[in-house]
Amino acid sequence: MPALTVAFCTFKRADRLDKLVAALRAQHCPIPFEILAVDNNSPDDTRDVLARLQAQPGAPLRIVTETAPGIVPARNRALAEALDRDILVFIDDDELPQAGFLAAAYDAIANEGAHCVGGRIEIDFTPHGRPAWLDDEVAGFLGRLDHGAAPFWVVDDRTPVWSGNTAYAMSFFRDHPDLRFDARFNRAAKASAAARTP
């Protein structure tokens, strides 16, 4: 039976993890799935929150710690951890999946033959509402992505697919062991002043 992992990388967002894990566990998926949390060495109570969530019922939650700072090492750790799976789905730790998120990713890869699948990302502006100055172009820098409601094939590099909401056929990474997230595009938290003091 095919195996699916849905992964999120997290850093200092312990307060968001309850809702995210609950929303992932509420997903319907045609195959059993696990949730993989890659803690990027968070200094807050992320580890305690994840341990509590791990003990709760539902899809199993696996926790790993990546000590190299930044999103690129964290995502590459998720790839390494899921290399033996059939499908790896990424979601960011500040996102919540809509109903059908995992089922759509599974269908596109397992039934339609896609190697990579992306989807719409909307920004939740509650409780204050969307600022008047924030147009769709600027919202794209905050992660918003919307190519419309109809599915379509990406055939060239003119159509972006953000990695915050992406699924991969893991056979592609097994066949191309040098293909990983590029360290040139890493984003890491800056060290505190105290940490830089000799």
Domain boundaries, the chain: 4-178
Q: What does the alpha-carbon distance between residue 125 and residue 158 come to, in Å, rounded to a whole number?
A: 28
Q: What does the alpha-carbon distance between residue 26 and residue 129 come to, in Å, rounded to a whole number?
A: 26
Question: One-letter amino acid identity for 198?
Answer: P
Q: What does the alpha-carbon distance between residue 2 and residue 167 come to, in Å, rounded to a whole number?
A: 14
The pTM is what?
0.84
Mean per-residue pLDDT for 94-110? Answer: 92
SS (H, E, C) 30-85: CCCEEEEEEECCCCCCHHHHHHHHHCCCCCCEEEEECCCCCHHHHHHHHHHHCCCC
* Low-confidence winner among 106-110, 126-130, 161-165 (lowest mean pLDDT): 161-165
Q: What does the alpha-carbon distance between residue 112 and residue 59 come to, in Å, rounded to a whole number?
A: 25
Residue from 103, 86, 96, 89 nearest 29 by CA: 103
Could you tell me the pLDDT band of residue 141, with boundaries at 50, 70 and 90?
low
Q: What does the alpha-carbon distance between residue 26 and residue 166 come to, in Å, rounded to a whole number?
A: 19
* DSSP code per residue over 95-164: --PPTTHHHHHHIIIIIT--SEEE--B----TTT---TT--HHHHGGGT-B---SS-----STTS---TT
List, in order, residues 6 or more apart from 186 with CB less than 8 Å away: 70, 71, 72, 73
SS3 189: coil
- CATH fold, domain 4-178, is Spore Coat Polysaccharide Biosynthesis Protein SpsA; Chain A (3.90.550)
Q: What is the pLDDT of residues 18-43, one digit of tens each?
A: 999 999 999 999 999 999 999 999 99
Q: Which residues pair with 10 in a beta bridge?
A: 39
- Of all residues in the chain, the percent with pLDDT exceeding 70 is 85
Q: What is the pLDDT of residues 4-19, one digit of tens each?
A: 999 999 999 999 999 9
**How many CB atoms within 10 Å of residue 82?**
24
